[in-house]
Amino acid sequence: MPIDVTIAQVLTNTNELNVLLRFDYHLQNATKKHHIEEQLEKASASFEVINALDMLDDPVVIFDDKWRYQFINKAGWNVLDEDRAEVLGRNVWQLRPHLKDSEYKKAAYRAMKTQMTVEIEEFYPKTQFWYKTKFFPSSHSLVAQMKNITEYRNAQLMNTQLLGDLEQAMEAYWSEENRALREKKKKTST
């Protein structure tokens, strides 16, 4: 089956290099031609999904059903700061033994077992960041989307501390106010 492939490189306005492929094939058999068109549409759709995931500000990781890294978007690579060849295709639990007893692992397994979205918040001592992770399961893969919520958690902690300080100040004020009233009452009764 003769196929002509045209390859074009396009530099986007954000200075990213995209490679575009165009396939022209010459088939007499309409069934084969339709099958190839379907395959090309699926490949094109996958390429568009990957591009969309790469545009997200939040790290996104896709694991297969053997817990191997299948995809990591650009934001994910920025967080991992590791060589792609050392990560892709490797089992997450072997590569990251420190996650052995983590909420991350428990939630990932729960999502795959129940086939329902699971969400957790967890602190990572290595980076000193809080992350909210959502796990989106399918029958053969798991998508994990992480969001750094450290600023939110720090603000929440500061609000809790301020509220505690305010409660202590109010208790001290009312205690002093009550003491002053008791003394005043004592003086007027004598």
How many CB atoms are located within 10 Å of the residue 173 CB? 10
| 115 and 142 fall within a common domain | yes
Query: Residue 18: which of 47, 57, 61, 49 has the closest Cα?
Result: 47
Q: Which amino acid is at 115?
A: Q
Using CA atoms, how far apart are residues 71 and 84, in angstroms rounded to an integer?
A: 10
The per-residue pLDDT for 84 is 81
Is the same domain home to 140 and 85?
Answer: yes
* 63 and 130 part of one domain: yes
Nearest-angstrom CA–CA distance, 11 and 71: 23
Residues 75, 103 share a domain: yes
pLDDT digits (tens, 9 = 90+) for 65-89: 999 998 888 888 887 778 888 888 9
pLDDT score of 111 more than 90: yes
Whether residue 139 is found in the same domain as residue 155: no
Per residue in 120-172, pLDDT (tens digit) is: 998 877 778 888 999 999 888 899 999 888 887 778 777 777 777 677 777 77
What pLDDT shows up at residue 23?
A: 56
pLDDT tier for residue 92 given thresholds of 50, 70 and 90: very high
- Across 47-51, 111-115, 154-158, the highest mean pLDDT is recorded for 111-115
Shared-domain flag, residues 125 and 104:
yes
Q: Residue 93: which pLDDT band, with cuts at 50, 70 and 90?
A: very high
User: Is it the case that residue 105 has pLDDT exceeding 90?
Assistant: yes
* Range of the structural domain that residue 30 is part of: 3-54
What is the reported pLDDT for 117? 93
* Same-domain status, 77 and 144: yes
**CA-CA distance, 167 to 57, in Å (whole number)?**
39
What is the mean predicted confidence (pLDDT) over 11-30? 56
Are 62 and 135 contained in the same domain?
Answer: yes
**Whose CA is closest to 129, among 144, 145, 151?**
151
- The answer to whether residues 113 and 88 belong to one domain is yes
**Range 164-189 average pLDDT:** 73
Site of tokens 């339709």: 34
Q: Is 71 helix (H, G, I), strand (E, B) or coil?
A: strand
105 and 64 together in one domain: yes
Q: What is the CA radius of gyration of the chain?
A: 29
pTM over 0.85: no
- Give the integer Cα–Cα distance in Å for 135 and 142: 7
Examine the pLDDT at 4 and tell me if it is beyond 90: no
Please indicate, yes or no, whether residues 100 and 26 belong to a single structural domain of this protein: no
Element (H, E) at 41: helix 30-55
Please count the structural domains in the chain. Answer: 3
The answer to whether residues 125 and 163 belong to one domain is no
